[in-house]
Amino acid sequence: MSVDAPETQAAPQAPRERPAGIGLFGWLRWGWRQLTSMRTALVLLFLVALGTVPGSFLPQRGLAPEKVTAFFQQHKTLAPWLDRLSLFDVFAAPWFAAIYILLFVSLAGCVLPRAKHHFVQLRSRPPKAPRNLGRLPESASYETDAAPDEVLAEARAILKDRRFRVDAHDDAVAAEKGYLRETGNLVFHLALLVLLFAVGSGAAFGYKGNVLVTEGEGFSNTVASYDAFKGGRSFTASKLPPFTVWLDSFSASYLPSGPNRGQPTNFSAKVRYQNGLSSPVRSYDLKVNHPLNVDGARVYLLGHGYAPRFTVRDGKGQVAFQGAVPFLPTNEATYASEGVIKVPDAQPDQLGFIGLFWPTAVPNQQGKVVSAFPAAWNPQVALFAFKGDLGLSNGAPQSVYKLETGKLKPILMGNKVKPLAAGQTLQLPGGAGSVTFDGYRQYVTLQVNHDPGRVPALAAGIVAILGIVTSFLVRRRRVWVRAKAAEGGRTVVQVGGLTLGGATPDFEAIVERLKKAAPEQPRSTAPDESPNMDEE
Amino acid sequence: MVDPHLAHLSNQLMLGAVLLYVVAMVGYAADISFGRRRVAAVPEEAKVLVGAGGPEAVEDAQETETETEDEDERRRVDWGRFAILLNVLAWGVHGAEIVTRGMAADRVPWGNMYEFVSAITFAAVTVYLVMLWRYKTNWLGPFLMVAVVIALGIATIWLYDDPGPLRPALHSYWIAIHVTAAVTATGTFTVAGVSTILYLLRARRTAPKPGGLLERVPDAETLDRLAHRTMMFGFPIWTFAIIAGAIWADSAWGRYWGWDPKETWSFITWVVYAGYLHARATAGWRGRKAAIISLIAFACLLFNFFGINYLVSGMHSYA
Ligand code: HEM
């Protein structure tokens, strides 16, 4: 592929020497050439790969913020330094953006000129036969009794038949095919540009919200009803479609026995939803791999948990709280969970509880209660009780999963805390009130998102694959046939072949067919070396 | 839900496949050592026979052949045939292992590390057998068998898991599409990796030591081209595997790309393989440097497979 390879490998090579005294414009041009060179592309590809590595080893805020917090607690001096380098937000880091933007600028700067060049090529004619066909990587030569014109006509027919683009010059036929290779390669690279653009704009215009919904409750698609909500840079809250989703029931099944006992086998949430007030209410069976499509958004089932139900009576005997309180699983295998109950309406003192919930409570060897199975076969709770001031009145936001114990006095702690089965009531010491464990509900955590870039991104991905497969399957080939009259009424036929990027697999077949059409006659002088190129 | 008889049968078939691969490996090795004496006597001829060159160049060497060399030649061919036969047999048993495993658990037979390794080695052997059939790459056999036997050994001893149902996130027909593509690409890259290592070894000297392990291996250029072609086959499949994974993640986790460690390393692997393909087209990077890049890419692939599952926790940790 030494012969005129530069023509198809249009990728500009980096000029080695720096420009001397050519002014700003010259430097800019030099810089642009550098940036769009294959070598720079290679380096940038490696930098992108290298840049993502810390993202897979260090906890990332976007993925697991709680792990980042834990990391900060464990590595008090190191963490702030890593944070300064954005190593907990690698994929949103300025330096990471710099690398990939450079790569894609390089890509555009490389591919767009190549596309233009290729466009011209697509409509060009095959290049004329080189003077000496014997010097090509593949060549053959023989003598025949057929006339030169006949040989060339035959050659044209054969090559056309093989779908070459064929041109006849005075004593030679020039043929070329395989333009699709470069087309495929360009389509692949352009599709990557489109893909990046789609991903970027999807993130900018989309949104994502997470919400916890307990059985029997629902939520509507407004920013306020989400527990966590993130809109892209160009997202506007007024664009949220007004739908509502209710959770009727949730069920999970687990392997009841065997070595993988407790492994979940199925999750399913029965939901109803409504696209705005005027639409009918429909129901849907929401499962892990079956998101609900509603009004351009998608609702996903991400997780689940238990929400034990309580009735709290205060020191005056009034019902101060009644309802289900979502507990967060602390153990994914057994669904042992933890939660907090805040009773600001209790009198004379506000009441607060930290609760443990075991879906299948059993005593372990030490006599402590643990959960043996994630399904609720024997649900029990234990409550640590506090009274005093919950600290809600100062207006500072509080997590519903944390009790601010600063102004609270523990009234039931340690060994005095006994597990309660459903229906049992705990009397608080000192006449502070009582708590009844009424049973449990389940809750699901849902994610709602809208990403307008996902379908274009998918399309670009598919086009990229088609492009690269095409470019790998097709080869760019050139074949020339020259026929010249020699002495004795004979014709010398010379065939030369060139495949950009390898030998032409069908070169020999073409020569064979030619020889059949214009039969070979043994000649006086020794033949050129025979073609012996490829093992294909 | 799990059929214990089929599960047992599958385990037995796995043992059988490993044993047959070992025998095939021995067969290939015997093939190499039986060729040795003759090769030492007539090195040029051996190079041609072994290499990918056509028969035409053999002719002048053949004149010097003696009776005993003919004899040796026949025996060599027999060992070679024996090795291939056993290799195909082992492959068949291996395939049956995978099928029975799937039937035992009543699902696609790739849901845990043991099954992944089994499927990947199966894909690698399949790719090798196709190459054997198309391009007569017997020389690759012994080296690939070593890799396959080691991988299956690790799988049976350390990674074994009884067949069981899949966790809910895996309940999707995308598992069949995504994992099949990933497994096929990984098997293909494994074959390419073995070829690349051979290329690097072979490229160090112009002529291999007579009687050495490498003397059956074709010249560096052929090896390089073969490895390149294999990777050109694997790369689009890997690309497809990543996209299929993104589609699946979109329906299972609510986002098509989230830089989960597994996704990150699939991306890294993809980019480094793209780097290899680029290096092959960049002046000053062809040959050795490109080969080393492709081995780095392969190392990323392996790390993604083993390292990420065991070292880093993410949504993809099935270990
Ligand atoms: C997003 C980053 C990129 C990726 C993933 C990528 C991927 C690829 C792949 C897989 C190939 C192999 C196709 C083949 O061998 O025929 C390729 C070829 C090529 N790429 Fe890129 N590329 C990227 C960026 C670039 C850039 C920035 C340039 C320009 C400087 C470039 C120029 C080329 C050229 C000229 C070829 C053809 C090589 C040949 O003829 O074999 N690519 N690219």
Dist. CA A109–CA A310, nearest whole Å: 65
Q: Assess A66–B contact: CB distance below 8 Å, yes or no.
A: no
Dist. CA B63–CA A486, nearest whole Å: 38
Residue A535 lies in a domain: no
Interface contact flag, A39 B284, Cβ < 8 Å: yes
User: Backbone phi, then psi, for B136, in 5-degree steps?
Assistant: 55, 55
Chain B residues with CB inside 8 Å of A53's CB? 264, 268
Q: Give yes or no: residues A409 and A330 share one domain.
A: yes
- B278 C-alpha vs ligand 1 centroid, how far in Å? 5
Three-class SS state of A257:
coil
Q: Assess A196–B contact: CB distance below 8 Å, yes or no.
A: no
Q: Give yes or no: residues A327 and A392 share one domain.
A: yes
Angle CA(A528)–CA(A534)–CA(A535) in degrees, nearest 5? 130
- A8 C-alpha vs ligand 1 centroid, how far in Å? 13
pLDDT at B125: 95
The percent of residues in chain A predicted with pLDDT above 70, rounded, is 92
DSSP A333: T
Q: Write down the H helix ranges in A76-206.
A: 78-84, 94-122, 148-161, 179-205
Chain A residues with CB inside 8 Å of B232's CB? 472
Dist. CA A131–CA A141, nearest whole Å: 14
A48 lines ligand 1 (CB under 6 A): no
pLDDT at A347: 83
Structural domains counted in chain A: 3
Dist. CA A276–CA A128, nearest whole Å: 69
Structure confidence by residue, pLDDT tens digits, A97-137 = 999 999 999 998 888 888 898 888 888 888 888 888 888 87
pLDDT at B71: 58
A110 lines ligand 1 (CB under 6 A): yes
A98: nearest Cα among A36, A58, A37, A51: A51
Q: Give yes or no: residues A227 and A335 share one domain.
A: yes
- A188 C-alpha vs ligand 1 centroid, how far in Å? 9
B185: nearest Cα among B127, B260, B246, B134: B127
Interface contact flag, A457 B256, Cβ < 8 Å: yes
Average pLDDT over residues A364-374: 85
A426: nearest Cα among A308, A313, A326, A318: A313
Q: What is the CATH number of domain B1-35+76-127+136-166?
A: 1.20.120
Q: Which residues pair with A492 in a beta bridge?
A: A143, A484
Residue A95 lies in a domain: yes
Query: Length of chain A, please?
Result: 536
Look at A129-143, A298-312, A490-504 and tell me which has the smallest mean pLDDT. Answer: A490-504
The amino acid at residue A220 is S
Three-class SS state of A391:
coil
- A119 C-alpha vs ligand 1 centroid, how far in Å? 18
pLDDT at B299: 96
Residue A356 lies in a domain: yes
pLDDT at B307: 80
Confidence of residue A146 (pLDDT cuts 50, 70, 90): confident
Chain B residues with CB inside 8 Å of A9's CB? 281
Confidence of residue B208 (pLDDT cuts 50, 70, 90): low
What average pLDDT does chain A have? Answer: 84
pLDDT at B186: 96
Interface contact flag, A255 B164, Cβ < 8 Å: yes
Residue nearest atom 36 of ligand 1, based on CA coordinates: B278
pLDDT at A460: 95
| Substitution candidate for ligand 1 out of A9, A39, A46, A189 with most atoms within 8 A of CB | A189
Look at A140-149, A204-213, B237-246 and tell me which has the smallest mean pLDDT. Answer: A140-149
Task: Determine the residue among B177, B240, B248 to mutate to test chain A binding: the one whose Cβ has the most chain A Cβ atoms within 10 Å.
Answer: B240
Chain A residues with CB inside 8 Å of B172's CB? 289
Chain A residues with CB inside 8 Å of B169's CB? 288-289
Cis geometry, peptide bond prior to residue A348 (ω within 30 degrees of 0) = yes
Q: Give yes or no: residues A421 and A272 share one domain.
A: yes
Q: Which of A416, A433, A450 is the last residue of a domain?
A: A450
Q: Give yes or no: residues A405 and A483 share one domain.
A: no
| Substitution candidate for ligand 1 out of A13, A185, A192, A463 with most atoms within 8 A of CB | A185
* A 112-171: CB under 8 A from B: none
Residue nearest atom 8 of ligand 1, based on CA coordinates: B274
Residue A375 lies in a domain: yes
A471 lines ligand 1 (CB under 6 A): yes
Confidence of residue B46 (pLDDT cuts 50, 70, 90): very low
Interface contact flag, B252 A289, Cβ < 8 Å: yes
CA–chain centroid gap for B62, Å, is: 35
Interface contact flag, A288 B274, Cβ < 8 Å: no
Q: Give the DSSP H or E segment for B15.
A: helix B4-41
Nearest chain B Cα distance for residue A58, angstroms:
10
pLDDT at A303: 87
B268 lines ligand 1 (CB under 6 A): no
A340 lines ligand 1 (CB under 6 A): no
Give the sign of the dihedral formed by CA B164, CA B168, CA B174, CA B175.
negative
Closest CB to B260 among A63, A289, A461: A63
B283 lines ligand 1 (CB under 6 A): no
What average pLDDT does chain B have? Answer: 81
Interface contact flag, A502 B225, Cβ < 8 Å: yes
- B238 C-alpha vs ligand 1 centroid, how far in Å? 16
Confidence of residue A189 (pLDDT cuts 50, 70, 90): very high
Q: Which residues pair with A227 in a beta bridge?
A: none
Average pLDDT over residues B233-253: 92
Q: Give yes or no: residues A355 and A503 share one domain.
A: no
Nearest chain B Cα distance for residue A9, angstroms:
8
Residue A370 lies in a domain: yes
Dist. CA A163–CA A35, nearest whole Å: 38
pLDDT at B89: 94
Interface contact flag, B239 A49, Cβ < 8 Å: no
pLDDT at B58 over 70: no
Q: Assess A456–B contact: CB distance below 8 Å, yes or no.
A: no
Closest CB to A465 among B171, B240, B253: B240
Q: Locate tokens 């930290």: which residue?
A: A354
A432: Cβ contacts below 8 Å, ≥ 6 apart: A314, A315, A349, A351, A385, A387, A411
Residue A366 lies in a domain: yes
Look at A78-92, A220-234, B31-45, B263-277 and tell me which has the smallest mean pLDDT. Answer: B31-45
Q: Give yes or no: residues A174 and A280 share one domain.
A: no
pLDDT at A34: 79
- B189 C-alpha vs ligand 1 centroid, how far in Å? 19
Confidence of residue A21 (pLDDT cuts 50, 70, 90): low
Look at A5-14, A404-413, B6-15 and tell me which has the smallest mean pLDDT. Answer: A5-14
- Contact of A496 with A175, CB cutoff 8 Å: no
B125: nearest Cα among B108, B142, B144: B144
Q: Give the DSSP H or E segment for B101.
A: helix B67-105
Residue A463 lies in a domain: no
pLDDT at B17: 93
Q: Which of A90, A118, A146 is the last residue of a domain?
A: A118
A106 lines ligand 1 (CB under 6 A): yes
- CA R_g for chain A: 37
Q: Give yes or no: residues A212 and A345 share one domain.
A: yes
Look at A157-166, A435-444, B37-46, B289-298 and tell me which has the smallest mean pLDDT. Answer: B37-46
Q: Assess A52–B contact: CB distance below 8 Å, yes or no.
A: yes
Interface contact flag, B236 A472, Cβ < 8 Å: yes
Domain regions of chain B by residue span: 1-35+76-127+136-166, 44-74, 167-319
Q: Assess A298–B contact: CB distance below 8 Å, yes or no.
A: yes
Q: Give yes or no: residues A108 and A146 share one domain.
A: no
Average pLDDT over residues A175-197: 91
- Contact of A138 with A504, CB cutoff 8 Å: yes
- Work out the burial of residue B302: count CB atoms within 10 Å of its CB; fewer than 13 is exposed, 13-18 middle, 19 or more buried: middle
Look at A47-61, A381-395, B32-46, B235-249 and tell me which has the smallest mean pLDDT. Answer: B32-46
- Contact of A336 with A342, CB cutoff 8 Å: no
A267, A270, A284, A299, B152 from A290: Cα distances, Å: 11, 12, 10, 9, 35
- Contact of B278 with A41, CB cutoff 8 Å: yes
pLDDT at A528 over 80: no
Nearest chain A Cα distance for residue B141, angstroms:
19
B274 lines ligand 1 (CB under 6 A): yes
Closest CB to A42 among B222, B261, B285: B285
- CA R_g for chain B: 21
Dist. CA A227–CA A212, nearest whole Å: 7
Calculate helix-pair angle for B141-158, B113-135, nearest 10 degrees.
170
**Nearest atom of ligand 1 to the alpha carbon of A468:** 13
Q: Give yes or no: residues A306 and A399 share one domain.
A: yes
- Work out the burial of residue A131: count CB atoms within 10 Å of its CB; fewer than 13 is exposed, 13-18 middle, 19 or more buried: exposed
- A9 C-alpha vs ligand 1 centroid, how far in Å? 11
* A 202-231: CB under 8 A from B: 208
Interface contact flag, B165 A265, Cβ < 8 Å: yes
Residue A523, token pair as written in the block: 């000649």
Q: Give yes or no: residues A385 and A423 share one domain.
A: yes
- CATH number assigned to the domain comprising residue A142: 3.30.310.80
- Work out the burial of residue B82: count CB atoms within 10 Å of its CB; fewer than 13 is exposed, 13-18 middle, 19 or more buried: middle
pLDDT at B26 over 70: yes
Give the sign of the dihedral formed by CA B75, CA B76, CA B77, CA B79.
positive
Three-class SS state of A526:
coil
- pTM confidence score: 0.81
**Nearest atom of ligand 1 to the alpha carbon of A41:** 27
pLDDT at B24: 92
DSSP B108: -
Confidence of residue B11 (pLDDT cuts 50, 70, 90): confident
* Helix, strand, coil shares, percent, chain B, to 5: 80, 0, 20
- Work out the burial of residue A16: count CB atoms within 10 Å of its CB; fewer than 13 is exposed, 13-18 middle, 19 or more buried: exposed
Higher pLDDT, A292 or A407: A292
Chain B residues with CB inside 8 Å of A56's CB? 259, 261, 264-265, 308, 312
Higher pLDDT, B242 or B218: B242
Report ipTM for this prediction.
Answer: 0.84
Where in the sequence is the domain holding A418, given as residue range(s)? 207-450
pLDDT at B184 over 70: yes
Three-class SS state of A485:
strand
Residue A170 lies in a domain: yes
Residue nearest atom 26 of ligand 1, based on CA coordinates: A107
Chain B residues with CB inside 8 Å of A288's CB? 168-169, 171, 252
Interface contact flag, A45 B278, Cβ < 8 Å: yes
Average pLDDT over residues B34-55: 40
Q: Locate tokens 């489109």: which residue?
A: A194
Q: Give yes or no: residues A414 and A354 share one domain.
A: yes
pLDDT at A208 over 70: yes
Structure confidence by residue, pLDDT tens digits, A49-87 = 999 998 888 888 877 777 888 888 888 889 889 988 889
